[in-house]
Amino acid sequence: MKRKKIFPNGKWKWFWISTTVFFGIYLLIVGGATYCDISSELTLQKFDLDRDEFINGEEITVEQKEAMSKAILDTRRNFSSITGLILSGIIALFVLVGGKLIEYISIKIKDKN
């Protein structure tokens, strides 16, 4: 109801749909990378037996080394904001262009009839 008051002619419909798609996909990408980062940090904290935030002596195991290498070599969280911008921008652009194209075609078909 409020949408009809703000945008009475529906000209901006596909813009707002594509903007919503952009932010939704961006939040999924960045949120997923943040989840993986927090998960790997929690996994590493399991190996810190004396809770001094340093891994040394008896705390160093094969599993700890594997978890540490996964945390260090993970570039997903570092590049997720850039990748998210690019990927969600491309998808949102396709939604905008596709929606406008469908709208244009449906108007042309109505005009012929």
Cβ atoms of residues 103 and 9 within 8 Å: no
- pLDDT tens string 35-72: 988 888 888 777 776 666 666 666 667 777 777 777 77
- Cβ atoms within 10 Å of 8's Cβ, excluding its own: 8
| DSSP string over 66-98 | HHHHHHHH--HHHHHHHHHHHHHHHHHHHHHHH
Q: pTM surpassing 0.85?
A: no
Contact indicator for 36, 6 with CB cutoff of 8 Å: no
Span 72-103, pLDDT tens digits:
777 777 888 899 999 999 999 999 999 999 98
